[in-house]
Structure 1
């Protein structure tokens, strides 16, 4: 298990984005936040949810990439970013998937919504149900495209969580978010995500822009085994989005590092055993523990083992006996169970009597 700080304050990094967050993918903990929970207009960034709904069907096997959906007049007429599908035509699901991810096609998004739920309105209701299921508490979706609507809102925290879930739940499809070009109907379009071209390790996910929302970006990158997810929203231009996102990501990877604390099954401490054939039992980790921290946070880190002792025998290997507690000022406390590293049998009757007598003599002294 990887753990990370609850989140640096906005004062730790000045960003032009009105709303921003950095999420440590492996732990799900926030490393940086600025207005993270305010529901804001998403523009095309909410298409991550449209894609998520489609990927669930592909993963479940209820759809294949070779299945087709028909293009309605509504989808064909939709303005904004387009895949350029033709009304009345049958379009492969695999092409629609790339048309949304790479080309940000509003038309492709509506085709998928209608193909999965019968109408875009019904699809929006399904997305809202899924948002509640996933714990996206500041999300309300009214369409499949992110088209301006006074009730279509997500927080940057919810966008980051959804990106993380996409990476975890659909590893066979996530690579599509790194594709830089897609051609449909002999029309080649490039992915609008600027970090794919300018930041080493970036592999997703989605840009967005409307007059109300400003310019936004959901990005993900992995370097040296460390994966971070970024959301920035409310910037004033595409150029500012491109430069600010790279600056923000560079700062994050310079500032935060994965520090390995304990390996899986590593002995952390020993605990006293009462009336056992051994007087102490090793306490071992239940899983690896790594902390994503800045160097300053690491210096202030305090690690302690907490248990009620002595622990009465018998003890079975693997039995939870204690808790490893990691505290850092201003950071959410990390807790992890510690297990018995070996069996400890109970003493026989004579041994228990001798131990009890010894304990009384020791106490009297």
Structure 2
């Protein structure tokens, strides 16, 4: 066995010790700082809307009327008791015109009772036959309890008969802008030529909320009592989501289970319509999923206020040389969250404007595009009148126009 000299061992030990000290004094490498995410979730593409078990459905932004998602939204469907939203709109319109009043005594006629009362297969309010009740109570019986009898009684009171009321329904539907609907009765029981679409129904809900907020407020009431009978509102979302304040359910064998719902969270309101679902619970589950999806991934922005100048344009032959252009009503737009900065506005305006110009006269169009698609457009109108200039002003401008051409 070979023995190393003590001096050599000592030197080796000292070297190892020194090397160890050197290693100990060298800072250990620090872990690299994690890289920031490439983008926040708001900048990612909007995921597909939830899968819906219905024949037709749509989700619409209330303020802008933009359809955020939908399937078969323009296909004709039987509206069932969602028809009563149209009935509410007609009654509220006739009240505003002073033709009927909230305190009117409305008769529950024998016809209304036989066609829509307790002896029928449909929903009923419970008002006694051949007796009267205040119009506002009869309307709540229709809205909250979905009473077919109350709907018929209201139609008879407002127009004299269901047929006449149907004509009123179609006239008001045309005024609202419902292009694919036709109404023949006030309750929604199946009938030839009685139809609507998911999109039209969303527009109807928008109109009721906008034009008659008091009438709309009845839709959030959870129960109503007529005589000894208390019935609950069939809209399950009123118990599940505090942001939901309407609107109306519907069901019969031809229509399936239907629900028009609306919710407001902060300053944003959405309207969902699910038609031809498979059950009372499924229509509520699907409507809730649509509303949650819409609120999570979309937001509403006010781009231009009514009556405020967007552009100034030169005017020839006028008493003034310029005219201010703007929009007659507020211009709002719905965008995926995080996309607001990517909006691109543009204006289509005639190259030459010649006086006289009337206040409110349409001059051009303002358009807003996102990812190459027009998502909103409104007429540009003159915010002030521009009268014709004097003889020499018109003559001079005529010469300058010829020169520049």
Is the shorter-chain TM-score for this pair beyond 0.5, marking a shared fold?
A: yes
CA contact (8 A) 2:88 2:215 kept: no
Q: Which digits, 9 at most, give the CA deviation of each residue in 1:269-288, with x for residues without a partner?
A: 66678999x9x979664464
Quote the offset at 1:246 in angstroms.
0.8
The yes-or-no answer on 1:62 pairing with 2:104 is no
- Change beyond 3 A, Cα 1:15–1:270: same
Which is further off, 312-321 or 166-175?
312-321
- Change beyond 3 A, Cα 1:268–1:234: same
Q: Which digits, 9 at most, give the CA deviation of each residue in 1:159-210, with x for residues without a partner?
A: 1121121122212322111111111103211111122222232211110011
CA contact (8 A) 2:315 2:323 kept: no
The yes-or-no answer on 1:190 pairing with 2:232 is yes
CA contact (8 A) 2:309 2:383 kept: no
The yes-or-no answer on 1:237 pairing with 2:279 is yes
Residue equivalent to 1:89: 131
Task: Decide which of 173, 180, 197 is 2:222's aligned counterpart.
Answer: 180
Quote the offset at 1:134 in angstroms.
3.3
Q: Which whole-Å CA distance do the structure 2 matches of 1:207 and 1:297 have between them?
A: 34
Residue equivalent to 1:98: 140
CA contact (8 A) 2:331 2:378 kept: no
Q: Which digits, 9 at most, give the CA deviation of each residue in 1:53-96, with x for residues without a partner?
A: 22222222222222112222232233211111222112221110
Residue equivalent to 1:109: 151
SS in 2 for 1:168: helix
Q: Which whole-Å CA distance do the structure 1 matches of 2:164 and 2:186 have between them?
A: 10
SS in 1 for 2:142: helix
* RMSD value, Cα: 3.7
CA contact (8 A) 2:123 2:148 kept: yes
Q: Which whole-Å CA distance do the structure 2 matches of 1:106 and 1:312 have between them?
A: 59
Q: Which whole-Å CA distance do the structure 1 matches of 2:187 and 2:278 have between them?
A: 21
Task: Decide which of 267, 288, 297 is 1:255's aligned counterpart.
Answer: 297
Task: Decide which of 251, 267, 288 is 1:209's aligned counterpart.
Answer: 251
CA contact (8 A) 2:367 2:374 kept: no
1:1-365 aligned at under 5 Å gives the runs 12-77=49-114, 78=116, 79=120, 80-263=122-305, 285-286=326-327, 288-295=330-337, 298=340, 300-307=342-349, 323-328=365-370, 329-337=372-380
CA contact (8 A) 1:271 1:310 kept: no
- Change beyond 3 A, Cα 1:43–1:302: same
Larger radius of gyration: 2
Alignment TM-score, normalising by the size of structure 2: 0.72
Q: Which whole-Å CA distance do the structure 1 matches of 2:192 and 2:154 have between them?
A: 23
CA contact (8 A) 2:60 2:272 kept: yes
- Change beyond 3 A, Cα 1:47–1:260: closer
Q: Which whole-Å CA distance do the structure 2 matches of 1:154 and 1:318 have between them?
A: 35
Quote the offset at 1:34 in angstroms.
1.4
Quote the offset at 1:317 in angstroms.
10
Q: Which whole-Å CA distance do the structure 2 matches of 1:10 and 1:126 have between them?
A: 42
CA contact (8 A) 1:305 1:322 kept: yes
Q: Which whole-Å CA distance do the structure 2 matches of 1:182 and 1:317 have between them?
A: 50
CA contact (8 A) 1:269 1:305 kept: no
- Change beyond 3 A, Cα 1:321–1:118: closer
Q: Which whole-Å CA distance do the structure 1 matches of 2:76 and 2:66 have between them?
A: 19
SS in 1 for 2:196: coil
Equivalent pairs counted in the alignment come to: 347
Which is further off, 166-175 or 100-109?
166-175
- Change beyond 3 A, Cα 1:55–1:322: closer
Quote the offset at 1:37 in angstroms.
1.5
The gaps in structure 2 that reach 5 residues or longer are: 1-45
- Change beyond 3 A, Cα 1:14–1:300: farther
Quote the offset at 1:321 in angstroms.
6.8
Q: Which whole-Å CA distance do the structure 2 matches of 1:126 and 1:318 have between them?
A: 31
Q: Which whole-Å CA distance do the structure 2 matches of 1:58 and 1:270 have between them?
A: 43
Q: Which whole-Å CA distance do the structure 2 matches of 1:144 and 1:120 have between them?
A: 7
Quote the offset at 1:101 in angstroms.
0.6
- Change beyond 3 A, Cα 1:137–1:261: closer
Quote the offset at 1:236 in angstroms.
0.2
SS in 2 for 1:145: coil
